Structure 1
Amino acid sequence: MAERRFESAGGSRQRAAIRVRVPARDSRTGNYKCSVEWVHSGEKELFELWGIDSMQALQLAIRAAGGLVKGDEGDLRWVGSDDGYLGFPRTYPEFLPKALLRKLERMIDREIAAHTRKSEAGHKRRQRKQQQTRAGWRKPRPGTMPPGAR
């Protein structure tokens, strides 16, 4: 169903991959399983995650895939990414109390909003600077007089 490939961070040709298979319904129990294959260091490991429905099985499989690659975080690079992020966001256990989950979500939302405001303010400053430069306005260099001030 899905695959993510990795390269060695050290520059060697070593590669790794994580594969998530399509959830399948078990006819005996009615539950769903989703398999995750972790291929690294010349070995293949297969894990089965079970859920009440296909969505839960898939969510658990993706969470497990992130946990598997996290152990090799310093040694791997997601193909196309140079900042060390392996492409699996942090998830939280489903057994946490609803009130705690909501509190965590509010904290994350506040941090995202603060980051967004800061990023937008920087973007607006850069735009103003570009517009001023295009209009011919330039900030005087230290120790010089602006034209017409003499």
Structure 2
Amino acid sequence: MRTPIANKGQAFTHEERRVLKLRGLLPAAVTSIELETKRAMVQLRRKSTPLEKYIFLQGMQDTNEDVYYRMITENTVELMPIVYTPTVGEACQEFSHIYRQTPRGLYISINDIGHVADILDNWPEKDIRAIVFTDGERILGLGDQGVNGMGIPIGKLALYTACAGV
């Protein structure tokens, strides 16, 4: 349940709950991933600003990637402006205030000269199909955002995954 790529929320079957020792950690009812996605969309739509919706979606990505990507693929027109432009620009400006510890990118600085291979090796996933990088210098016409520009690669990769199956 603590691994976003494997978490299924209440969609874990009773057998999976037994094997994974999740019994008692979830409500007893088993639901479908479709219902989990529908519930998440209801929660998202209750948020009043695009930035609140962005933060909610990032939280969903950090807890249940299956639901997160289903939300985007099933509601692309509605969510693309939240996941990417224009909302990602505001998210970049606020990134240091809304940043979560779940790694969604690597940070390479001038202090890492000679250690880039080590940093790349630190990434927890080994099946890497796409990389998006930025120097944070020209973020959507907002100017230099530095490390706060990380929202751009995060958003682009989310759309590549949801819309292109990368």
TM-score (norm 1): 0.25
Q: Which has the higher strand share?
A: 1
RCO higher in structure (CA 8 A, sep ≥6): 2
Q: Which has the higher helix share?
A: 2
